[in-house]
Amino acid sequence: MELIDNNSGYAHALKLKAAAKMKAWNDSVKLVEPFAPVVTTVDKKLFHSDMQRFVENKLRERTKDFESLLSREQLFQFFNFPTHVLREIQSRVKAEPQLTFNNDFTAVNIPDAAIYATTPDELQRLEASKRLIEAVEEIKRYGYTIHAAQLAQSVSFAVTGAGNALQHNTQFIKHSKR
């Protein structure tokens, strides 16, 4: 397995989304803290799976004498609990399902955004791409100007070019010739 592209733009976007998801989680815990403390790991897992039900169950524990007489909405109204805010925060916490929380909900797990050559064919295409780029760089050292975009087009975009820089074409390496 060899790295083709670290996919830094996508990785950066994932980090921003993970930070937003963690903030939404912390906001939700702060919101419900006065009504239904989320303390243990079990509490955190239950709260994450269904925030409104978790809060409802905690509020019903506090009102054992008359809890069965109240609907969920009445119970939340009785405690002046802002369900609309919780629903909005819950949608932010549930966003980006590829980003999951660690076991104790103190961080968001960010998947590896890098792209790797893994099969023998992909590794061969990556090696061919490297040799082409190295050969072009060697010719440039002799003072020749090579236009990367034109070269990329002439080799059916086995490499890509921006300005005068060549780089691996992930599509070529992962999927061969179009």
Amino acid identity at 170: T
Q: What is the mean pLDDT of the chain?
A: 88
Quick one: pLDDT at residue 23? Answer: 94
Q: Which residue has the higher pLDDT, 101 or 7?
A: 101
- How much is the average pLDDT of 59-85? 85
Lowest mean pLDDT among 4-8, 117-121, 155-159: 4-8
Whether 161 shows a pLDDT value over 70: the answer reads: yes
Confidence of residue 93 (pLDDT cuts 50, 70, 90): very high
**Does the pLDDT of residue 178 top 60, yes or no?**
no
Q: Would you say residue 172 has pLDDT above 80? A: yes
Helical spans, DSSP H, in the chain: 8-32, 41-49, 51-62, 72-78, 83-94, 120-141, 148-154, 170-175
Q: Is the dihedral of CA 97, 102, 108, 110 positive or negative?
A: negative
